[in-house]
């Protein structure tokens, strides 16, 4: 018996204790070399006054073992309780959310009996950075941040996953026809990295068309890699298409720590009755075993589970076959244990190889590049003005761009919700109370020039002198000569 790998285990709320007990019993019977450390998280901890649902000593366990098998959690309503999953993901940098969505027909009824898709979702950034501001009476803003390290890590992880697990194709989905800079970066990084994996076919789809195709022809996808929000949506679509979200596992992988959990909730309505299906958590534990490099045990558990399903033995959430039977949680676990060492006959037996980890991956997930030559050339100043017209604002701003302090700017355009309303503009364009005013640096001869931070401070000072309610700024820079800012609609 090899040394046991310490793992942190949380039984969770609702059906959590039952399905975790069943899962751990199967792992033990399969001779998984694990040493569980049990922590308390979730409802009890929340209601005990800890708004993040996890105590300091539990953090210590996670950081020590670096592997977390997590039962479902009930987050109490109201009272400012924060999602434990999101907290752990963000704090520990779990950048990859990996969601295999597999059909198990005929054991599970589905319109898509042959689907076998893995969604690899970026897990930390995008609109989920949680940076929101109310800017005016009428306008609220959320920042979508897409970063090069975020893209490189998730894309490389997707390719490494595909290489280790056998999929032959990766589809990248973005909306880079609209978001040319942010989603454009994700797509570009995908194109950069794919050349390192010539054995894997690749394609890119716009997310709207991609989601529609996934919804109607999931069989055509192997691995899909995509930013956070899109991944959130399509992983739910894919899970639903398999016919049972109750069977779906997930892994949240970071460079230091990884978390494994079923995607279903704590189902308090059936808690304590011994009828819950442990399969989602069990398959998550299988992903964990691969992660901690016990892939042989992982395959043994997974194949026994497939054989159980094939034999018509299911929990009450599924329909048994004609010669099958509905079992309770523990009896289902017994059935899986009884089949350890057996292979499925209709389903294709699974094989695993030990997961690539950050330590053993030949390519680093991210290496910071040399910085570009950055040159500031202007600034977007956003102004809150409820009863102004674009022409009126432009008149004031044109003067303030160079006096009283000689800031050295010229007003280039004003947009409202991204649409150019000055110069030119159409009467039909509806204007909110939120104006983006673009100032470009000019020299005495009116030619473009580089801008210093001090110039921007002077410009803002000029706006203050006129009593203008500016609410935010965005500096405009070129990086190695390429403008780092989009044009206005109609510009």
Report if residue 389 touches a second copy, rule: CB under 8 A. Answer: no
Least separation in angstroms between residue 38's CB and a second copy is 22
Least separation in angstroms between residue 166's CB and a second copy is 26
- Cβ proximity to a second copy: between 49 and 371 the closer is 371
Pick from 374, 395, 404, 423 the residue near a second copy by CB under 8 A: 374
Contact, 325 vs 335, CB < 8 A?
no
Contact, 450 vs 375, CB < 8 A?
yes
Least separation in angstroms between residue 308's CB and a second copy is 26
Pick from 98, 118, 239, 276 the residue near a second copy by CB under 8 A: 239
Report if residue 372 touches a second copy, rule: CB under 8 A. Answer: yes
Contact, 384 vs 452, CB < 8 A?
no
Report if residue 55 touches a second copy, rule: CB under 8 A. Answer: no
Residues 6 or more apart in contact with residue 459 via CB below 8 angstroms: 379, 381, 400, 401, 405, 407, 409, 439
Residues 6 or more apart in contact with residue 150 via CB below 8 angstroms: 95, 122, 124, 125
Considering only the stretches 333-341, 355-363, 389-397, 454-462, report the one whose residues sit in contact with a second copy under the rule CB under 8 A: 454-462
The DSSP H or E segment spanning 315 is strand 313-315
Least separation in angstroms between residue 386's CB and a second copy is 6
Report the Cα 450 to chain-centroid distance in Å.
Answer: 37
User: If we measure between CA atoms, which residue out of 116, 118, 120 comes closest to residue 94?
Assistant: 120
Report if residue 369 touches a second copy, rule: CB under 8 A. Answer: yes
Measure the CA–CA gap between 340 and 25, rounded to whole angstroms: 12
Sort strands 313-315 and 201-206 into parallel, antiparallel or unpaired.
Answer: unpaired
Least separation in angstroms between residue 198's CB and a second copy is 26
User: If we measure between CA atoms, which residue out of 8, 17, 9, 10 comes closest to residue 268?
Assistant: 17
Report if residue 91 touches a second copy, rule: CB under 8 A. Answer: yes
Measure the CA–CA gap between 140 and 199, rounded to whole angstroms: 45
- Cβ proximity to a second copy: between 40 and 433 the closer is 433
- Cβ proximity to a second copy: between 23 and 211 the closer is 211
Considering only the stretches 4-12, 158-166, 326-334, 370-378, report the one whose residues sit in contact with a second copy under the rule CB under 8 A: 370-378
Report if residue 454 touches a second copy, rule: CB under 8 A. Answer: yes
Within residues 394-453, the interface with a second copy by CB under 8 A covers 415, 417-419, 426, 428-430, 432, 434, 436, 453
Pick from 150, 278, 408, 441 the residue near a second copy by CB under 8 A: 150
Considering only the stretches 34-42, 264-272, 330-338, 471-479, report the one whose residues sit in contact with a second copy under the rule CB under 8 A: 471-479
Pick from 254, 280, 344, 356 the residue near a second copy by CB under 8 A: 254
Least separation in angstroms between residue 245's CB and a second copy is 8
Residue 198: Cβ-neighbour burial (10 angstroms; 0-12, 13-18, 19+):
exposed
Could you give the angle at which helices 16-29 and 279-291 cross, rounded to 10 degrees? Answer: 50
Least separation in angstroms between residue 281's CB and a second copy is 20
Measure the CA–CA gap between 23 and 69, rounded to whole angstroms: 10
Pick from 21, 29, 33, 139 the residue near a second copy by CB under 8 A: 139
Residues 6 or more apart in contact with residue 137 via CB below 8 angstroms: 384, 386, 433
Pick from 135, 342, 357, 361 the residue near a second copy by CB under 8 A: 135
Report if residue 95 touches a second copy, rule: CB under 8 A. Answer: yes
Compute φ and ψ for 142, nearest 5 degrees.
Answer: -125, 135
Sort strands 223-226 and 169-174 into parallel, antiparallel or unpaired.
Answer: parallel
Pick from 40, 236, 296, 450 the residue near a second copy by CB under 8 A: 236
Query: Interface mask (CB under 8 A) for a second copy, residues 255-284, using x and -?
Result: xxx---------------------------
In DSSP notation, 347-409 reads SPPP---PPP-TTT-SS-S--PPPPP-EEEEEEEEEEE-SS--HHHHHHHHHHHTTSSS---E
Least separation in angstroms between residue 330's CB and a second copy is 30
Place of tokens 């509905």: 326
Query: Interface mask (CB under 8 A) for a second copy, residues 182-221, using x and -?
Result: xxxx---------------------xxx-xxx-xx-----
Within residues 301-360, the interface with a second copy by CB under 8 A covers none
Q: Site for a second copy (CB under 8 A): how many residues? A: 110
Place of tokens 């922590």: 39
- Cβ proximity to a second copy: between 164 and 179 the closer is 179
User: If we measure between CA atoms, which residue out of 127, 109, 238 comes closest to residue 182?
Assistant: 127
Considering only the stretches 9-17, 237-245, 283-291, 315-323, report the one whose residues sit in contact with a second copy under the rule CB under 8 A: 237-245
Report if residue 149 touches a second copy, rule: CB under 8 A. Answer: yes
Report if residue 129 touches a second copy, rule: CB under 8 A. Answer: yes
Query: To the nearest 10°, the Cα dihedral for 176, 180, 182, 183?
Result: 10
Within residues 98-127, the interface with a second copy by CB under 8 A covers 111, 124-125, 127
Contact, 379 vs 439, CB < 8 A?
yes
């Amino acid at each position: 018996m090899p040394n046991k790998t310490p793992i942190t285990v949380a039984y969770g709320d609702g059906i959590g204790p039952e399905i975790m007990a069943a899962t751990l019993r199967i792992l033990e019977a399969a001779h998984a070399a694990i040493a569980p450390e049990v922590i308390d998280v979730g409802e009890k901890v929340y209601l005990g006054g800890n708004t993040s649902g996890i105590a300091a000593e539990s953090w210590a366990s996670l950081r020590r073992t670096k592997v977390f098998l997590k039962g479902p959690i009930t987050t109490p309503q109201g009272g400012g309780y924060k999602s434990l999953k999101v907290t752990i993901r963000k704090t520990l940098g779990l950048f990859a959310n990996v969601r295999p969505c597999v059909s198990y027909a005929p054991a599970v009824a589905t319109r898509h009996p042959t689907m076998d898709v893995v969604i690899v979702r970026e897990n930390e950034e995008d609109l989920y950075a949680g940076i929101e501001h109310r800017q005016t009476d009428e306008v609220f803003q959320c920042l979508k941040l897409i970063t090069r390290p975020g893209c490189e890590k998730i894309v490389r992880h997707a390719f490494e996953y595909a290489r280790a697990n056998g999929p032959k194709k990766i589809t990248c989905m973005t909306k880079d026809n609209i978001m040319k800079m942010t989603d454009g970066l994700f797509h570009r990084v995908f194109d950069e990295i794919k050349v390192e994996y010539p054995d894997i076919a690749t394609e890119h789809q716009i997310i709207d068309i991609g989601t529609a195709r996934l919804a109607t022809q999931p069989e055509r996808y192997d691995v899909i890699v995509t930013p956070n929000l899109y991944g959130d949506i399509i992983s739910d679509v894919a899970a639903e298409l398999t016919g049972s979200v109750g069977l779906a596992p997930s892994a949240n992988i970071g460079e230091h720590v990884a978390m494994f959990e079923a995607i279903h909730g704590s189902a308090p309505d059936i808690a304590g009755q011994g009828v819950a299906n442990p399969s989602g958590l069990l398959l998550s534990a299988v992903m964990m075993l691969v992660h901690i490099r016990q892939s042989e045990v992982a395959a043994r558990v997974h194949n026994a589970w497939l054989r159980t399903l094939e034999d018509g033995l299911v929990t009450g959430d599924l329909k048994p076959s004609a010669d099958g039977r509905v079992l309770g949680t523990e009896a289902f676990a017994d059935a899986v244990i009884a089949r350890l060492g057996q292979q499925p006959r209709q389903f294709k037996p699974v094989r695993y190889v030990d997961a690539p980890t950050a330590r053993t991956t030949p390519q680093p997930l991210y290496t910071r590049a040399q910085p570009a030559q950055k040159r500031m050339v202007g600034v977007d100043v956003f102004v809150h003005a409820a009863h102004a017209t674009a022409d009126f604002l432009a008149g004031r701003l044109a003067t303030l761009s160079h006096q009283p302090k000689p800031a050295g700017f010229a007003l280039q355009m004003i947009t409202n919700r991204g649409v150019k309303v000055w110069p030119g503009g159409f009467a039909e364009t509806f204007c909110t109370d939120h104006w983006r005013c673009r100032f470009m640096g000019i020299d005495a001869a009116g030619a473009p020039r580089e801008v210093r931070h001090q110039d921007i401070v002077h410009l803002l000072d000029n706006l203050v002198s006129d009593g203008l309610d500016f609410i935010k700024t965005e500096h405009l820079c070129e990086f190695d000569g390429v403008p780092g800012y989009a044009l206005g609609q109609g510009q």
